[in-house]
Amino acid sequence: MLKGRNLINTDDFSVEEIDEIMALAQDINKSPENFSNSCRGKILGTLFFEPSTRTRLSFESAIHRLGGDCIGFSESQSSSTSKGESLADTIKTVSNYVDVIAMRHPKEGSSNWGSHYSSVPLINSGDGGHQHPTQTLTDMLTIKESKGKFSGLTIGFCGDLKFGRTVHSLTKAMSNYDDNHFVFISPEELQIPEYLKIELDNKKCSYEEAKKLEKVIGQLDILYMTRVQKERFFNEADYIRLKDRYILDNRKLKDAKSDLVILHPLPRVNEIAVEVDDDPRAMYFEQARYGVIARMALILKLLGVE
C-alpha cells in the first residue's frame, strides 16, 4: 500500500511496489487521457531550496496533467527561510495547504528529517549529494520502455559518482534485480561511495571500477552519463581539473553496442557532445519526458486516487 507514504530513499519502496508504479506509469504513457481528472481538487507543494529545471517542472506538469494544482517556491530567497524560518516550521505550515510535498534541499538527510514534520506525503526531490529517488523512477521507466526488463543488464555509470545523487539512487534500485553487472567509470577522486560498494557486496551484486570509458563502453547495455557536480566541490581548482574528464562523442560510440541506451539525468554541461543527440541510442530527452509520467504515477499512488 503506497497511499500516504513518503519517498525519501529509493529503498523505501519494495521491488513489488516499484514494479506497481512502473506498471501504472506504462498505462499512463499509453492512455494519458484516462488520468486527466484523477487529481481534481488535489494540490502539490513544491519546496525547492536548490536550482532545478526538470524535476520541479516535471512535478508541476505531472499534477496539472492529472487535473490538480500546484503551489510552491523555486528558491529559498522567495520563502520565509530568508527571514530565518526553520525547515520544520516551513514544512508544518505548507502541509496545511497541500496534499503532497516535493522537496529539494542542498543538505543530505533534509527530506528524511523534514518528513517528520509533514502531515502529508513528502517526496525527496534531491537531498544534497545523497539521493534522488524520483529521478530513479524516471530512469527505470526509460529502461523499462527501451530494454523491457530490469535484470541481466550491464549498466555503466560515468562521471561524478561521488556526488551524483541520481547514480546513488539508481544503483540501489537496480541492485535489487537479478544478474545486473555495474561498471563505475570515474576518476579516482569521484569514485562511487564506499557505503554503496558495501551494499553491492552484501547483495552479492557484481561490479567493477574503471577509469577509461573507451575500455569498457563495448560491454555496456546502458550508459548513464553524469555532470560533475560543481556545487558540491569545496575547491574550484579540483572542479576545473575534473570537469571535462569524460566527453561522450560519436568516435567513442563506434565501439558501443548497437542497442546501447544512453541516459543522462540532465542538465548536461560538456559530458555528451551535441552530435550524439542525433544518435538513435541517445535517450536522455525521451528520459526527461518519462520524468513527467513517472511522477504522475507516483503522485497517484501516494494520494491513493487511482
Residue 230: CB minimum distance to ligand NCD, A: 9
Number of chain positions touching ligand NCD (CB under 6 A): 11
Peptide bond preceding 193 in cis form (omega within 30 of 0): no
Q: Which range touches ligand NCD (CB under 6 A), out of 147-155, 234-242, 260-268, 274-282?
A: 260-268
Stretch that binds ligand NCD, among 76-84, 190-198, 214-222, 264-272 (CB under 6 A): 264-272
Q: Cβ contacts of residue 49 below 8 Å, gap of 6+?
A: 75, 76, 81, 103, 104, 105, 106
Which of 6, 38, 46, 55 contacts ligand NCD by CB under 6 A? 55
Binding mask 90-129 for ligand NCD (x = CB under 6 A): ------------------------------------x---
265 binds ligand NCD (CB under 6 A): yes
Residues in contact with ligand NCD, shown as a per-residue x/- string from 205 to 244 under the rule CB under 6 A:
----------------------x-----------------
Q: Which of 165, 168, 243, 301 binds ligand NCD (CB under 6 A)?
A: 165
Q: How far is CA 124 from CA 106, 281, 292, in A?
A: 11, 30, 16
- φ, ψ of residue 240 in degrees (nearest 5): -65, -40
**CB nearer ligand NCD, residue 42 or residue 130:** 130
Q: The C-alpha cell of 129 is what?
A: 549529494
- Contact between 166 and ligand NCD (CB under 6 A)? yes
Q: What is the dihedral of CA 158, 161, 166, 168, to 10 degrees?
A: 120
CB of 151 to ligand NCD, least distance (A): 25
Asked if 217 contacts 156 with a C-beta cutoff of 8 angstroms, the reply is yes
CA 271 to CA 293: how far, in whole Å? 26
Looking up cell 484516462 gives 34
What is the C-alpha to C-alpha distance for residues 9 and 200, in angstroms, rounded to an integer? 16
Question: Contact residues for ligand NCD (CB under 6 A)?
Answer: 54-55, 126, 132, 135, 165-166, 227, 265-267
